Amino acid sequence: MKSAFVSFEDKGYPSPREEAWRYTNVVPMTETPFRFVKDSKFSGVSKDKIKHFVADIEGALCLVFVNGFFQPQLSTLQGLPQGMILQSMAEALKTHSHLVRPYLARFADYREHPFVAVNTAFIHDGLFIFVPKKTVVKFPVHLVYFSASEGQETVTHPRNLFVVEEQGQLQLIESYAGEGTYWTNTVTEIVAGSRATVDHVRVQKEDLKATHFSSVFSHQAADSHFHSHLFSFGGHLVRNNTHVILGGEKSDCLLNGFFMGQGQQHVDNQTTMDHASPYASSDEFYKGILKDQAQGVFNGRIIVRPQAQKTNARQSNRNLLLSEEARMNTKPNLEIYANDVRCSHGATVGHIDEEQLFYLRSRGLDRHISYDLLTYAFAREIIQKVPLEGMGRSLECDLFQYLHGETSQKVPSAALPFSRGPQRTV
Amino acid sequence: MLNINNLHVRIKDNGIEILKGIDLRVNPGEVHAIMGPNGSGKSTLAQVLAGRETYEVTQGEILYEGKNLLELSPENRAREGIFLALQYPVEIPGIANSYFLKASLNAIRRHRGQEELDAMDFLSLAREKMKFIKMDESFLNRPVNEGFSGGEKKRNEILQMAILDPKLAILDETDSGLDIDALKIVAEGVNALRRPDRAMILVTHYQRLLNYIVPDYVHVLSGGRIVKSGDKGLALQLEEQGYAWTEGGV
Q: Which of A258, A320, A353, A360 to mutate to test the interface with B (most CBs of B within 10 A)?
A: A360
Handedness of CA B141, B144, B149, B154 (dihedral sign): positive
ipTM of the complex: 0.95
CA angle (B56, B60, B64) in 5-degree steps: 90
* Chain B CA closest to residue A358: B52
Domain ranges of chain B: 31-51+74-248
Q: Which of B95, B123, B140, B157 to mutate to test the interface with A (most CBs of A within 10 A)?
A: B95
Domain ranges of chain A: 2-351, 354-426
Q: What's the whole-number average pLDDT of chain A?
A: 89
State the average pLDDT over residues B223-249. Answer: 81
The conformation of residue A413, written as its DSSP 8-state character, comes to G
Local confidence band at A388 (pLDDT 50, 70, 90 cut-offs) = confident
> pLDDT digits over A391-415, tens only?
988 998 899 889 887 654 455 444 4
CA distance A102 to A344: 35
Interface of B with A (CB under 8 A): 50-54, 73-75, 77-79, 83-84, 86, 89-90, 92-96, 98-100, 102-105, 107-108, 111, 119-120, 122-123, 140-141, 143, 160, 164
**CA B147 from centre of chain:** 22
> pLDDT digits over A102-152, tens only?
999 999 988 889 899 999 988 888 999 999 999 999 999 999 999 987 778
> pLDDT digits over A158-183, tens only?
999 999 999 999 999 999 999 999 99
> pLDDT digits over B9-64, tens only?
999 999 999 999 999 999 999 999 999 888 899 999 999 999 999 999 999 999 99
Q: Is the pLDDT of residue A207 over 90?
A: yes
Q: Taking Cα atoms as reference points, which of A91, A96, A64, A90 lies closest to residue A77?
A: A64
Q: Is the pLDDT of residue A425 over 50?
A: no
A-chain residues near B100 (CB < 8 A)? 360, 363
Q: Is the pLDDT of residue A426 over 70?
A: no
Q: Taking Cα atoms as reference points, which of A209, A168, A217, A211 lies closest to residue A188?
A: A217
B-chain residues near A365 (CB < 8 A)? 75, 103-104, 107
CA distance B106 to chain A (A): 9
B31-51+74-248 falls under which CATH superfamily?
A: P-loop containing nucleotide triphosphate hydrolases (3.40.50.300)
The helix (H) or strand (E) run that includes residue A304 is strand A295-304
* Interchain pair B75, A356: CB under 8 A: no
CA distance A210 to A206: 6
pLDDT number for residue A40: 59
pTM above 0.80, yes or no: yes
Query: From the list A356, A364, A422, which residue is nearest B92 (CB)?
Result: A356
The helix (H) or strand (E) run that includes residue A169 is strand A169-179
> pLDDT digits over B109-140, tens only?
999 999 999 999 999 999 999 998 889 999 99
A-chain residues near B84 (CB < 8 A)? 362
Residues of chain B above pLDDT 70, percent: 98
Pairwise pLDDT comparison (A43 vs A154), residue with the higher score: A154
Q: Taking Cα atoms as reference points, which of A152, A143, A204, A207 lies closest to residue A178?
A: A207
Query: From the list A364, A384, A423, which residue is nearest B123 (CB)?
Result: A423
* Chain A CA closest to residue B161: A363
CA distance A84 to A81: 6
The conformation of residue B69, written as its DSSP 8-state character, comes to G
The most distant pair of C-alpha atoms in chain B lies apart, rounded to whole Å, by 57
CA distance B204 to B198: 19
CA distance A411 to chain B (A): 20
**Contacts of B105 by beta carbon, 8 Å cutoff, 6+ apart:** A364, B117, B122, B125, B163, B164
Q: Taking Cα atoms as reference points, which of A172, A89, A80, A92 lies closest to residue A132?
A: A80
Residue A344: φ, ψ to 5°: -140, 150
> pLDDT digits over A254-311, tens only?
999 999 999 999 999 999 999 999 999 999 999 999 999 999 999 999 999 999 999 9
Burial A24-59 (b: 16+ CB within 10 A, else e): bebeebeeeebeebeebeeeebeeeebeebbbebee
CA distance B192 to chain A (A): 21
B-chain residues near A356 (CB < 8 A)? 90, 92
> pLDDT digits over A217-227, tens only?
999 999 999 99
